[in-house]
Chains A and B, each alone.
Chain A
Amino acid sequence: MQLSRRAIPYTPFTKELSGATIALLSTAGVHLKSQTPYDVEGDSSYREIPGDVNASDLTVTHNHYDTSQALQDINCVFPIDRLRELHHDGVIGGVAPMHFGMMGYTLRMRQVIDETAPEIARKIEHSPTDAVLLTGG
């Protein structure tokens, strides 16, 4: 069944936050420095970012916003260190083993809807993740 654009999918959050494992997904163009950068002319692909990543190994490739803050501190757009602190302090139950980066700009929206988004959703479904925190640029 195709979901209408007017419909809003909604899954209740039924766990205690202190027991929940959280994943990040950013459309700010976040990726590992060792990964292929996004095509700034438009890119519908995504990058997997391991949960134990060192923040200094991350960067952003995007030209639709001023990336200077994110290049100084990736947590501006991808708060991985903040999640770890919240886990350490018992606010959340854990940091997911896999997070995701996208560029958020593409002329191939149909590809995002039909391929990229369902593929990411399936990967998250099959990983120990209770909720996803998303950030834009």
Chain B
Amino acid sequence: MHVQRAIEAIGIPTILITVEPEQSAQARPPRAVHPVNHRLGWPVGHAGAVEVQRKTVEHALACLVHPVEPGTIRTYED
């Protein structure tokens, strides 16, 4: 998304959690992760699924620490 690119361009690292990887790829995100079991409306996890939500956030943040080539959308399965 354009705002992600703008934030990254100004010097702040970003990570996107996306459930629409094809659409996200068109915007060429600096870093992105796709939780493959999640759907539109609950990209981080179902309502009340605290552990799943936490693991999704932790996994996304780990992608900041362990970078891959910019533009790569990594998949993640919980």
Contacts and interface: CB of A to CB of B under 8 A. Distances in A.
A54 B77 CA distance: 30
A126 B24 CA distance: 27
Contacts of B29: 8
Contacts of B12: 11, 121, 124-125, 129-132
A120 B5 contact: no
Contacts of A3: 5, 9
Contacts, number: 171
Given A9-B5, A86-B54, A117-B6, A136 B44 contact: no
Interface in A1-45: 3, 5-13, 17, 20, 22, 25, 27-28
Interface residues of A, number: 56
Given A13-B13, A133-B57, 14 more contacts: A8-B29, A9-B30, A13-B65, A27-B3, A73-B46, A75-B45, A76-B42, A79-B56, A82-B53, A113-B2, A124-B12, A129-B12, A131-B14, A136-B1
Interface of B: 1-20, 24, 28-31, 40-48, 50, 53-54, 56-58, 60-62, 64-65, 67, 70-71
23 contacts: A7-B28, A10-B8, A11-B8, A11-B12, A22-B61, A65-B40, A66-B41, A73-B47, A73-B48, A75-B44, A76-B41, A76-B43, A79-B54, A109-B2, A120-B6, A121-B6, A121-B10, A130-B12, A132-B7, A133-B15, A134-B14, A134-B16, A137-B41
